[in-house]
Amino acid sequence: MVRTVGLEEELMLLDPRSREVAPAAQRVLKEFRERGRGRGHSRGHARAATDELDQELFRHQLEIRTDPACDADDLHAQLVAARRTAGEAAAAAGLALGACGTVPLGGEEAAVSPNDRYRDMVDTFGDVARTGGTCGMHVHVGIESDEEGVVVLDRIAPWLPALLALSANSPYAEGRDTGYASWRAQVWRRWPSAGPTERFGSVAGYHEVCRTMLASGAARDPGMLYLDARLSTGQPTVEVRVCDVCTDPAEAVTIAVLVRGLVETAARDAVSGVPVPAWRAEELRVAHWRASRYGMADHLVHPLHRELRPAREVLDDLARHLGPVLAEAGDAERVAAVLERAVRDNGATRQRAAFERTASVQGVVDDLVARTEATWRPAGKP
C-alpha cells in the first residue's frame, strides 16, 4: 500500500505596484469568505483542504494545504487548486501571490496577525519572531504509529539537507542578494526549537526531548517544536519542515514524493535490521549550512560517504537509495525528470537569472509574481 502524502505551503502577499509585501491577509480572507469560500462545510460534508485559506504569523502570509493523496498527479492537481483558491482571493483584493522563501524587498516592519498566540510568540521571542516572516513548505507522510514515526525520524535526518538544497528559493532579502541559495533556512534557524535532531531511540525518548524543550520555554506549545522533522500533532504523519516554498509545483510534488520514499525506505530498513546511521547534530548543522549556502550550485555533504560531493551526485544517489519504493509508487520517472532539470535550474538560480535580466530586485519580484500566477491561472484567462 502506497503511503499518503500531503503538502502545506506558506505564500506571501505582494503589492504589484511597490513590489513590497502587503500586510493584507485579513482583507484577502474577507474577499475569500465573501466569494462563498472558506465556510467550513458544504451540504453536510467537510470541504476539501484546497478550498480553505489560513492566516500565518504575519499579515503578509497565507497558508494553503492539500488533502492526503496516494497519487502524485492528484497531489499536483490539489496544489494547483489550492494556489488558485489563494490567488483568486488575492487578486480580488488587488494583490498578487509570490511563492518564495523570503521577502525580496525591504519595507515596513512585518505586521503580526491578530491572534493571541502569534502576539505572545512575538512578546516571548522578540526579534527572532519579528524577522521570521519566511515562507516554507511542509511535507506530511502517513505512518502506522508513533513508534514507526520515531524509527523514521532517526533514519532520514542525513538526507534532509539535500531536499533543502533542491528547494532553495530565497537568495534575496531586504533588497539585496544574501549570498545564500536559501536565506530562509538561515533565518528559520534562529528559533530555539528549530534544527536537526540526533537519534531519539524510542517514542519515550522523542517525547522527553519535546517535554524538555517546552519546559525550557524554547517553544510555547507543541506547534512551535520546529524540528526539521517531527511527529505531527493531531494527525498520524511524519512532518518534514526543511524546505523553502517552491515556485514550481512540479518541484514541490517531486520533493514530496522523495520524502515519502525516505519514510518508506526508513521503515523497511528498520524491519530488516539495517543499522541506524549515527550522525551528530554538529555534522547535520554543517550539512544544512552547505545546502542553504550553495543550493544545487556546489558540493553537498554526502549522507553515505560523509564527505563533500557534487550536488548532482548526492541527488542521484538519493534517487538510487529510494529506487525500489519510487518505482513501486510510480514516482521514478517524475523524480528523474525533475532532478535532471533542477540540478541546473532551481528556484534560487531562476531568481538570480531574473536579476541579471532586469538589474533590479524589483525585477526579481515581477518574475516571481508572473511565475507563481502561471502555476494556478489557466492560460489565456485574465
What pLDDT digit, counting tens, does each position of 158-177 carry?
Answer: 999 999 999 999 999 999 99
Q: Is 112 helix (H, G, I), strand (E, B) or coil?
A: strand
pLDDT in tens, 93-124: 999 999 999 999 876 666 777 778 878 888 88
Q: What is the mean pLDDT of residues 180-184?
A: 98
Whole domain around residue 356: which residue ranges? 5-376
| 381 assigned to some structural domain | no
Residue 381 — very low, low, confident or very high, per pLDDT cuts 50/70/90? low
| Residue 245, pLDDT above cutoff 70 | yes
Between 181 and 51, name the one with better pLDDT.
181
Bridge partners of residue 240, in order along the sequence? 139, 229
Beta strands in the chain (DSSP E): 5-14, 41-42, 45-46, 54-55, 61-65, 96-98, 136-142, 172-173, 176-177, 229-231, 237-244, 299-301, 308-310
Percent of the chain with pLDDT over 90: 76
Q: What is the pLDDT of residues 309-355, one digit of tens each?
A: 999 999 999 999 999 999 999 999 999 999 988 888 899 999 999 99
Give mean pLDDT, residues 195-217.
Answer: 97
pTM comes to 0.94
Q: What is the reported pLDDT for 179?
A: 98
Is residue 190 one of the residues assigned to a domain? yes
- How far is Cα of residue 7 from the mean position of the Cα atoms in its chain? 8
In this predicted structure, the answer to whether residue 12 has a pLDDT above a threshold of 90 is yes
Given this model, what pLDDT does residue 118 score? 79
Reported as a pLDDT band with limits 50, 70 and 90, residue 217 is very high
CATH number for the domain that contains residue 184: 3.30.590.20
pLDDT of residue 45: 52
Closest residue by Cα to residue 155 from 88, 251, 238: 238
Q: What DSSP state is assigned to residue 8?
A: E
User: How many domains does the chain fold into?
Assistant: 1
Return mean pLDDT, the chain.
Answer: 92
Question: For residue range 35-82, what is the model confidence (pLDDT) as tens digits?
Answer: 766 544 444 456 788 888 887 777 888 999 999 999 999 999 999 999
What are the CA-CA distances from residue 307 to residues 18, 64, 298, 314, 368 (Å)?
44, 37, 13, 11, 34
Would 49 be classed as within a structural domain? yes
Query: For residue 382, is it within any domain?
Result: no
In a domain, 180, yes or no: yes
Could you give the angle at the alpha carbon of 79 between the alpha carbons of 75 and 81, nearest 5°? 115
The single-letter code of the amino acid at 251 is E
The answer as to whether 149 is a domain residue is yes
Question: What are the b/e assignments for 187-204, b being 16+ CB within 10 Å?
Answer: bbbebebbbbbebbeebe
Is 61 contained in some domain?
A: yes
Q: What is the reported pLDDT for 39?
A: 43
- The whole-number pLDDT of residue 108 equals 63
Task: Evaluate whether residue 115 is within a structural domain.
Answer: yes
pLDDT band, very low/low/confident/very high, at 219 (cuts 50, 70, 90)? very high
Query: What pLDDT score was predicted for residue 156?
Result: 98
